[in-house]
Each structure stands twice: as structure tokens, then as C-alpha cells.
Structure 1
Amino acid sequence: MRKIKVAIVGCGSISKKRHIPEYAANPNVELVGFCDLILGRAEGYAQEHGGRAYTSYEEMLKAEKPDAVSVCTPNVLHAPYAIAAANAGAHVLVEKPMATNEEDALAMIEAARKNGVFLMVGQNQRLMPPHLKAKEILQSGKMGKVLSFRTSFGHGGPEGWSIDGRDSWFFRKEDAIMGAMGDLGVHKSDLIRWMLDDEVAEVAAFVSTLHKAGTDVDDNATCVLRMKSGIIGTLVASWTYYKGGDNSTILWCENGAMHIGTHPVDQVIVQLRDGTVEKYQVGAMATNEKQVSSGIMDAFVESIITNTPPSISGEEGLKSLAVILAAFESQDSKKVVSLS
């Protein structure tokens, strides 16, 4: 079988830690092109993995004619680069948030549809082993109906992760548009929609810049969500969890509570009302400090090989983005925002 030719645009930390090594480990992939405005970064990967280095995205698409492209650029470039790739006939994997507004997201979905290619969004929380286990337990029915939840994602900020440190695009509003909510909050809006098999109906939010000096992107947000089923919960995103990052979810259900990602060894803990406690060790979640495979690149490649639309589609990415956009609207209007 011919290998899938994959090109990467944006050679920062997410490419370095996830996309490139996960593609390189996949026997069905040939990395053919790396594009970055800083040529040296792209050249380093080309020397290591083969393929060619570019500073021009259009030139790379034209010269390499890739089967698939990973878009790992600043947020504001996700839409134009994804659309250009689709128009060049390439399947697209775009980092989250898929876009910075609904109009761009819809244009990306339409470009993929028009060109007969797949559009997948890198919402990797769905594929983390503790989250897969938690969903399996929910679907077994043993917890009964979910009544409320708390889901949180926080760390010390992108300066500890980004290849550019404190000079990262993450802190420049014209490049990022949104801060902790686009970086972490959208992961949790996607997770809770998927885990509960439910959609967010209403959002009330406080979104602020509390501590990151010299930037006007948000570094903290606390949101109250009401799901269509009536479930009420909170979603928190933070770039100021300076000691002890958090990627945890607690579900309070009719028959007890489920704690996900709250314990370093027992990644899922079920506490039933009859006193029973079940502990599951199913594998850790990836963190900035400790990388484990996200599963995203393998799922994307599998979609292409089997010609099966990805489950984390552009439409799914848009629904998760809409929650974050509603949170900003709630902050601005000081009102509860309904999602249509």
C-alpha cells in the first residue's frame, strides 16, 4: 500500500511534541514537507525525517501535492491554511480551536465538502484513556443519570510549553484572538459534549486576564453550562495554575460520583451510593511535561486509509468552538447566552 504523504505547516511545540513524532511512528505515513516562517525549524525536521523545508505554504502545497496536511499554526491562520489545503485536494487535520469565529469554521467545513476531503479537529481529550473508560462506564448505566459536573483544565501557561516561551504567539491577540479558552477551554467543551452525548444549551461566563502581564488575551475563565438534557455544570480554563496543573472532570450521578483525572495512579474512581468504590488504572493523560501518544494522528491516518469520515469532524469542532464563543459573548454582555 502506498504511504500517505503528509505535510506540516507550523513547526512549533505541538508539531514537535505530538504531530511529527506520531506521524513518524505511523508505518503508513511519509512526511514530505515542513513549513515554518523560521526556515531553520522546518529544515531541522526535514533533515531528521526526510522531506523538504519551506517558508511558503502555497509553494509547499504546489510542490509536494500532499495527501494530507496538519495545520499547527497560530489560531488566526487555522482557517485560511485549512481551506488552502482542502482546495489543493488534501485531507486536513487542524489544531484546536478549529477557527476563531463561526464564519471561518463554516468556510472550512464547506471547503472540505466541496473538495471531497476530510476535515478533522485535534480535540485529543476524547481519545485519552481515562476519558474513554469514563464514557464506557457511563454507557454501562451503572451510574444512572448524570445530574451535574465540574470539568477543569489549567496549567501555568503557554510560556512553559511554547517553543518561543514568553514571546509566543499565544499572548498576541492578533494571532491568538483567544487565550486560555481557545487553548484549554475548547478541549473541555468538546470533552463534556462527547462524554455526556449531549449539547450545551446555555452558557454564563466570567472570562478575564488576571495575571499574565502585557497581554490582553484571557488567562482565566469560569463558565456555567446548562446542557440540553438539563444537566448543569461548570467548565474552568486557566493559565495561572502555577503549581499542579489540572485536567480533571467529576460527574455527580443518580447512583454516585465518578472522578476522572483527579488521582495520579487511579485515573478513574467510581464511588457508588451503596459504599462501593471502584478504581481503574487505564493509562495517563498527556501533559505538557509528560507526553503520551494523543491518538489523534493515528485516527486521522486511519480515516484516510479506510475512507471513513473522522468522528472528530469539522462539524464537531464547530459545536465545541460555539460554546467558547458563547462564553466570550456572555462575558461581554453580562448575560446568559443561548446556543441555537
Structure 2
Amino acid sequence: MGRVKVGVIGCGSIAKNRHFPEYEAIQETEIIAVCDIVQDRANTAAQRYNAQAYTDYIELLKNVEIEAVSVCTPNYLHARITIAALEAGKHVLCEKPMATSLNDAEKMNEAASKSGKILMIGHNQRFVPSHQKAKQLIDSGEIGRVYSFRTAFGHSGPENWAVDGRDSWFFKKDQAVIGAMGDLGVHKADLLRYILGEEFVEVGAFVETTAKKNTDVDDSAACILRTESGIIGTLTASWSYAKEDNATVIYAEKAVLRLEDDPKYSLIIHHDNGKTETIELGSIQTNDSEGQHDSEVISHFVKCVVNNEVPLISGVEGLKSLKVILGAMESNASRKIIRL
């Protein structure tokens, strides 16, 4: 089999720092088309990767050579472009949040199932070594029953790394729809569903715009979540942290797990016998370290395309994680606990 021919739709920061360099690093792929509504941006990427430049994704999707696409556009376009790509017979890797409504997410999954093509959502947190290890420790029963957790994902905001800075679509309600919760909160909802191996059944949340001026998207949120077996915990997502926080703490019967909570040790295990284990497993990606190490999202997607396998984060998984975030938004609006 020849190399998988790829098209990247949207040439902003996430494409520049993750999708382009990671596709380029994989021998099995070749970037043959790029698309951005800003002509200069498309041209620059096209020159850099020796690809064809488009300003209209519909035109790109007509290119029959393209087998797979990455959708790296503002949130409100995810569903529309993904569905069009699947209908055009392409495999799709869509950035998160997969959509801005459950209805759109369901339509994306229907299109995937109808086309027989792969739909994967770009939740990179599942691939972080400390997160994988925590899942193993929980699944094996080694640390006993899990009682609670706390998880956070926050940084100083997209203006510091998005290609358009403070003018970025992230701050425009009609394009982002959801702010820090769609950017960061959905990652942690997905991670916890994965690590705990359970679905969340209830959410209560406060979602605010406190740190950023002249925007009506959320920039800070705190949620309380409960799983089907009664594990309870907190999830915070924010664009107001002076220093990035990407830590998760799991409180279980026989141990406390600290994930990405220490600059040196990506996993710290406090055992109930008083002993502490410190493990270095390679750090989590931050916005400062983008491009320095593989997020594994692209390599996993390509492997699934080549071997025709179901991805770890399928559209079905993406929808379940989105449901948690949309429930949190609903809880804030109604000032009630929402059953998911």
C-alpha cells in the first residue's frame, strides 16, 4: 500500500504545531492538500509541505486522491466539514470539541457509519503515559475502589498561542460557541471517562466569563461530577491561570494517584501503607512544548486508517465526552444539577 494521502482543513495553530509536523514525521503519510479561508496561510502551508492550496474545503474534498482529512477549523464548522468529508469518502480526524450540539455530533456519527469511514476526535489526553498507567492501576484493581477525583486544565488563554491572538475565533461566540469548556474542559471529561471506565450521570457547574474582556464566551468553569457507581469529583477549566495546570488526582481505597501534578514526576503514587512511589514517564504536552513531542493522536489515526481499526477516541466516544460539557453549560444556565 502506498502512503496515505492527507488533506488538512484549517491552517491555524493546532494544524501548524501538531497536525502538520506529526503527519510529516510519519512515513506512511503524505500531506497533499491544505485549506484555509486566509489565502496567505494556505499558501504558506502548501509551500512548506509541497501540497496544493485551497481556500474552500468543498473544492479540497473533490480531490479524489485525498484519503483522509484533519479538520482544524473553528468549533462551529466541525460538524459541517466532517459530514461533508465523510460523504466524500474520506477518513476524518476532527479536533475537539467534535461539535457544538449533540444533534450535530449524532449526525457526524451517522455519516461515519453510513460511509464506512473512520471518524476520530483529537483528544490527546488519553495517550499521555501517566494517564495510561493510571487506567491500568484502576482496571487491575490494584488500588482498590476509586472514591473521588479532582482534575484541572487551565492556562492563560488562546490569545497567547492562537494564530490570530486576541482577535482569534476562540473569543467569538458565533464561531467558538463554547469557550474554555470546549477548549479544555472537554479534554478532561474525556480523560476521566477513559481512566475511570465509567460514564458520568450527573453534573452541576458554575461557568463564568471573568478574566477576558469584550467576549461572551466562558473563560472559567468549575463542575461537580458523579459517575454511575457513585465516584464524585471536580473538574475545572480556565483561561485565567498565569501558569498552566493540567493535573489530575485520583483518590482510591489503597492509594492516591497524582497525575501530571509535579514538574519532575508525571505519576506519584501515595500508597495506604505510607510509601510513596515517584515515576517519570515523559511529560504531558503543553502549549509551550507543542511540536516538541508527538501527541500520538496523528500516529494513532493513521494506524487506524492503514489497518482499518476503530480508533480509541471514535465519534461515539467524542459524543459522550461532549455530552458532559453541554450538561455543565445547561447546569450553569438553569442553576440545577443536570442528569446526563
Common fold: TM-score over 0.5: yes
1:272 corresponds to: 271
1:246 corresponds to: 245
Q: Report the Cα distance in structure 1 between the residues aligned to 2:264 and 2:141, rounded to whole angstroms.
A: 25
**1:74-223 paired onto structure 2 within 5 Å:** 74-223=74-223
Superposed CA offset, 1:275-334 (max 9, x none):
111111010000000122110000000001111111210000000000000001100111
User: Is 1:159–1:168's contact at 8 Å kept on the other side of the alignment?
Assistant: yes
Q: Report the Cα distance in structure 2 between the residues aligned to 1:26 and 1:273, rounded to whole angstroms.
A: 43
User: Is 1:67–1:91's contact at 8 Å kept on the other side of the alignment?
Assistant: yes
Shift of 1:64: 4.8
Q: Report the Cα distance in structure 2 between the residues aligned to 1:54 and 1:26, rounded to whole angstroms.
A: 23
Q: Report the Cα distance in structure 2 between the residues aligned to 1:189 and 1:110, rounded to whole angstroms.
A: 23
2:317 corresponds to: 316
User: Runs (4+) of structure 1 moved beyond 6 Å?
Assistant: none
User: Is 1:65–1:88's contact at 8 Å kept on the other side of the alignment?
Assistant: no
Q: Secondary structure at the match of 1:84?
A: helix
Q: Report the Cα distance in structure 2 between the residues aligned to 1:9 and 1:312, rounded to whole angstroms.
A: 20
1:300 corresponds to: 301
Superposed CA offset, 1:247-289 (max 9, x none):
0000111012110011011110000110111111010000000
Q: Report the Cα distance in structure 1 between the residues aligned to 2:301 and 2:179, rounded to whole angstroms.
A: 26
Letter in 2 for 1:152: A
Letter in 2 for 1:282: L
Superposed CA offset, 1:19-67 (max 9, x none):
0100000000010100001111111121111110010111111135410
Shift of 1:94: 0.2
User: Is 1:54–1:60's contact at 8 Å kept on the other side of the alignment?
Assistant: yes
Q: Report the Cα distance in structure 1 between the residues aligned to 2:30 and 2:337, rounded to whole angstroms.
A: 48
Shift of 1:90: 0.1
2:235 corresponds to: 235
User: Is 1:11–1:35's contact at 8 Å kept on the other side of the alignment?
Assistant: yes
TM-score w.r.t. length of structure 2: 0.98
1:282 corresponds to: 281
1:329 corresponds to: 330
Q: Which runs of 5+ in 1 are unaligned?
A: none
Q: Secondary structure at the match of 1:247?
A: coil
Letter in 2 for 1:38: V
Q: Report the Cα distance in structure 2 between the residues aligned to 1:106 and 1:75, rounded to whole angstroms.
A: 16
2:262 corresponds to: 263
Percent of counterpart pairs with the same letter? 51
User: Is 1:32–1:64's contact at 8 Å kept on the other side of the alignment?
Assistant: no
Superposed CA offset, 1:190-225 (max 9, x none):
000000001000000000101200000000000000
Q: Secondary structure at the match of 1:34?
A: strand
Letter in 2 for 1:237: A
Count of matched residue positions in the alignment of Structure 1 and Structure 2: 338
Letter in 2 for 1:329: E
User: Is 1:261–1:267's contact at 8 Å kept on the other side of the alignment?
Assistant: yes
Superposed CA offset, 1:153-200 (max 9, x none):
000000011010000000000000000000000000000000000100
Letter in 2 for 1:96: K
Q: Secondary structure at the match of 2:34?
A: strand
2:31 corresponds to: 31
Shift of 1:128: 1.1
1:57 corresponds to: 57
Q: Secondary structure at the match of 2:211?
A: coil
Q: Which runs of 5+ in 2 are unaligned?
A: none
Letter in 1 for 2:273: D
TM-score w.r.t. length of structure 1: 0.98
Superposed CA offset, 1:128-148 (max 9, x none):
122112222223322111100
